[in-house]
Amino acid sequence: MVHAARAPAARVTPTGHTARSHTARAPRATPLAHAAHTLKASDTAHLRYLSASGSLLLEEGQTSGTLPGKMRARVDVGSTFTGSFVTYTRYGTITGHGRATPHGSGTYESFSGTLVVTGGSGRYAHAHGTAGLYGTFDRDNYAFVVQTTGTLLY
């Protein structure tokens, strides 16, 4: 036996309009935001001196670890090391800045601080995150060995 669909019953509202009661419907599926990828990263960069303007150094070199590639950094080697960087990986770039406190004196000076990822391109277009920033600075040839350990969201 086939049943015809029933129309909702009509009722009169307090304002005199006709309203129909509807049965409850399942909520409509709404698109979810794209879930971010989370990457626990640990990398090392060996940077060599390219040029300088006062205490501002331009450095470049290879990175190895979780995100291998090439890095270019501008670093001010004042009483606190500050700088910005771009890392070129196979799947896009990662950009950010960092701040570190130098320790000791002499030819090799260690440092520690924080690195902040602020963006990028390609797979890393919406990258953000923080990392510990550690390493050594060679005052004779202006070379850096930089190590980072942290979390990247993209």
pLDDT tens for each residue of 24-46: 555 555 555 554 899 999 999 99
| H/E run at residue 30 | none
In the chain the domains, ranked by start, together with CATH numbers, are 38-153 (2.40.350)
Q: Confidence band (pLDDT; 50, 70, 90) for 100? A: very high
Distance CA 154, CA 149 (A): 16
Which residue in this structure is represented by tokens 């270019």? 72
Q: How many C-beta atoms lie closer than 10 Å to residue 17's C-beta?
A: 8
Judge whether 46 and 59 are in contact, CB under 8 Å.
no
Beta bridge partners of 76: 56, 82
The reported pTM is 0.76
Distance CA 136, CA 154 (A): 29
